[in-house]
Amino acid sequence: MSVINPPIPDFLYLLNIYDFLRFDKERFMNITTAYIVTFIASFCILVIEIVAGRILAPFVGVSLYTWTSIIGVVLAGISIGAYLGGKLADRFPGRKTLGWILLLSGIATLSIPPVTNLVAGYKFPTFLMLRILIVTTITFFMPSSILGMISPVIIKLTVRNLEKVGNVVGKVYAFSTLGSIAGTFAAGFFLISWIGTRHIILVMGGILILTAVVWGSLFKKMKPAIGFLLLPPFLLAGVYNYGFKPRIDSYTEYYKESDYYTIKVRHTSNPDGEILQALILDNLTHSYVNLNNPLHLEYQYERIYSEILRWKFKKDSPFRSLTIGGGGYTFPRYMEVFYPKAGIDVVEIDPEITRVAYKYLGLPQDTGIRTYNEDGRWFVMNCNERYDLIFIDAYNDLSIPFHLTTKEFARLLNDIMNPDSILLTNIIDNFQKGSFLPSYIRTLAEVFGKGNIHVISVSNDFEKRGPSTYIILTVKGNIKIKDFEEYLKDSFGDEAISKVVPEKILNKFLEKEYSVVLRDDYAPVDNLIAPVFEERFGYNRKNR
């Protein structure tokens, strides 16, 4: 340890601490320091892995493909990094080697957000799984590889007695695992909702760079070390707006990353000039709300809901409804005004979305709508109510919660439905080549009966349309679809939004298209919806 003659200014006193942390033998590291550095590196890499899914969600969705790519790429990076790190440790066995690796890992981590912006939006001319894999590899492979080099170098610096190598290696890997566990829980339970994904990356990069300076022997004295630490903020200032700052324009009224989504509320308008509030979750617009008119329904599928309800219930009917997937609460607000005697329950998994609905989307504080912030299936499993009407509005074309699509879940829904009740499910698929739509119909038919499942489109040319919205109308009891068609003709004529797919065409569609019965132990919804996903990104299977 270096000796500093008195008098010692407070600032220079830190030199003693710095020299102690460096440990005076450049080719060795004390075991405590090894534990700390290993813990920090493993903590950072697991935080990055957890955050990766949220960073990619606006570009490639949250699906089995996304998480498979993330886990595979990160593990591949760690594996190759461990191999290269072992080579480096034998050839350059010194603390500076560790310092440079930590420094490079911090820089590579900081590159993740800007690289994501550059790469993730590009339409790679290949099929979906490979596209997601390419984006994930370009973004996360290099940081994972460099972080993977750290453990072999630490072991090389720590082992001095070959007779105790097993003990040392075991403890280093134990602290590595503890760091990984801590990083997993910290990111999933706290960090994402506290500071947001891109700022988490910024913090992890800063921690790795600081660790390199403190324990990497990059500088012999503390003054140049402090000077170096002042450099990254200046360099980051130039790219912060592009890589780390949320993309918020003047029309964005609210922005927050919750435990489930990146939530935005934006001011917008429709072609008729009506001012609307748009709720955007990740990168998809889920709802449009007219704050001054709760009866306004912007989406055509919501107008289909309206026509079905007007056929089924009178304005003073005291029915009970359940909506799974609250979103902007557009249709629950509509029902509360149009059907004042209706009992309305909404299950929305994200409590932040409910808070947004109250504050920004016109849901009144004295509303009679009852909200349950929990998983839809968990609610249904423990539900003691019985409903006349159930909406499932939790699917989209980028992510589908598979446990809300299965035969077992359909049975649970059947159990809480009154006689002569209906189930309405909003699905986005391609009637020409979709596989999820016919699979979902087959699954419901297993529970409710084939003749009780009907498909309603927003257009008569559904056989020629690309990806579009379809409402699956499932009836329990003696409700006849012909009665609904007659009601549409008598009440709306040619102006009716709902177009019932004829039974013959529906049967032909079910026979022609590939489909499976979705079960809890076999629900490949990500594979089934892949064609729609690909078409969303402008990929044509004919070009394969």
What is the mean predicted confidence (pLDDT) over 391-409? 87
The answer, yes or no, to whether residue 196 has pLDDT greater than 70, is yes
CA proximity to 58, closest of 308, 325, 257? 257
Task: For helices 165-186 and 150-158, give the axis angle rounded to 10 degrees.
Answer: 140
Residue 177: its pLDDT value, please? 93
> What band does 231 get if pLDDT is binned at 50, 70 and 90?
low
Residue pair 184/45 in contact (Cβ under 8 Å)? The answer is no
Residue 339: its pLDDT value, please? 97
Cα–Cα dist 341/319, whole Å: 7
The answer, yes or no, to whether residue 83 has pLDDT greater than 60, is yes
Residue 3: its pLDDT value, please? 43
The answer, yes or no, to whether residue 533 has pLDDT greater than 70, is no
Name all contacts of 157-161 with Cβ < 8 Å and 24+ positions apart: 157/27, 157/28, 157/29, 157/34, 157/89, 157/93, 157/94, 157/95, 157/98, 158/28, 158/29, 158/30, 158/31, 158/34, 160/28
Residue 378: its pLDDT value, please? 96
Cα–Cα dist 94/97, whole Å: 5
3-state secondary structure 25-83: CCCCCCHHHHHHHHHHHHHHHHHHHHHHHHHHHHHHCCCHHHHHHHHHHHHHHHHHHHH
- pLDDT tens, position by position, 265-310: 999 998 888 999 999 988 788 899 999 999 999 999 999 999 999 9
The answer, yes or no, to whether residue 536 has pLDDT greater than 80, is no
Please state the φ and ψ torsions of residue 88, each to the nearest 5 degrees.
Answer: -65, -40
**260: β partners:** none
Q: How many CB atoms lie within 10 A of CB 224?
A: 12
Residue 12: its pLDDT value, please? 39
Lowest mean pLDDT among 159-173, 417-431, 518-532: 159-173
Residue pair 517/442 in contact (Cβ under 8 Å)? The answer is yes
Alpha helix (H) residue ranges in 216-329: 222-229, 231-237, 240-243, 300-312
Residue 541: its pLDDT value, please? 47
Residue 229: its pLDDT value, please? 66
Higher-scoring residue by pLDDT: 378, 273: 378
- pLDDT tens, position by position, 481-532: 999 999 999 999 989 999 999 988 888 888 877 889 999 999 888 888 877 7
> What band does 355 get if pLDDT is binned at 50, 70 and 90?
very high
**468: β partners:** 429
Higher-scoring residue by pLDDT: 375, 511: 375
**Mean pLDDT computed over every residue of the chain:** 86
Q: Give the single-character DSSP code of 135.
A: H
Which burial class, exposed, middle or buried, applies to 529 when counting CB atoms under 10 A from its CB (0-12, 13-18, 19+)? buried
The answer, yes or no, to whether residue 23 has pLDDT greater than 50, is no
The answer, yes or no, to whether residue 540 has pLDDT greater than 70, is no
Please state the φ and ψ torsions of residue 258, each to the nearest 5 degrees.
Answer: -90, -170
Higher-scoring residue by pLDDT: 48, 459: 48
CA proximity to 429, closest of 351, 307, 528, 506? 528
Which burial class, exposed, middle or buried, applies to 498 when counting CB atoms under 10 A from its CB (0-12, 13-18, 19+)? buried
What is the mean predicted confidence (pLDDT) over 402-424? 95
Q: Could you tell me the end-to-end alpha-carbon distance of the chain, in angstroms, rounded to an integer?
A: 65
> What band does 213 get if pLDDT is binned at 50, 70 and 90?
confident
CA dihedral 359, 362, 365, 371 (to 10 degrees): -90
Which burial class, exposed, middle or buried, applies to 427 when counting CB atoms under 10 A from its CB (0-12, 13-18, 19+)? buried
> What band does 17 get if pLDDT is binned at 50, 70 and 90?
very low
Residue 535: its pLDDT value, please? 65
> What band does 385 get if pLDDT is binned at 50, 70 and 90?
very high
Query: b or e along 176-193 (b: 16 or more beta carbons within 10 Å of the residue's beta carbon)?
Result: beebbebbeebbeeebbe
The answer, yes or no, to whether residue 379 has pLDDT greater than 60, is yes
The answer, yes or no, to whether residue 145 has pLDDT greater than 60, is yes
> What band does 14 get if pLDDT is binned at 50, 70 and 90?
very low
The answer, yes or no, to whether residue 179 has pLDDT greater than 80, is yes
Distances (CA, A) of 113 to 110, 119, 241, 358: 7, 10, 11, 32
Residue 11: its pLDDT value, please? 40
- pLDDT tens, position by position, 433-447: 788 999 999 999 999
Sheet of strand 284-289, all strands in order from the earlier edge strand to the far edge: 252-257, 262-269, 275-281, 284-289
Cα–Cα dist 134/119, whole Å: 9
Lowest mean pLDDT among 66-80, 220-234, 259-273: 220-234
What is the mean predicted confidence (pLDDT) over 205-224? 80
The answer, yes or no, to whether residue 364 has pLDDT greater than 90, is yes
> What band does 85 get if pLDDT is binned at 50, 70 and 90?
very high
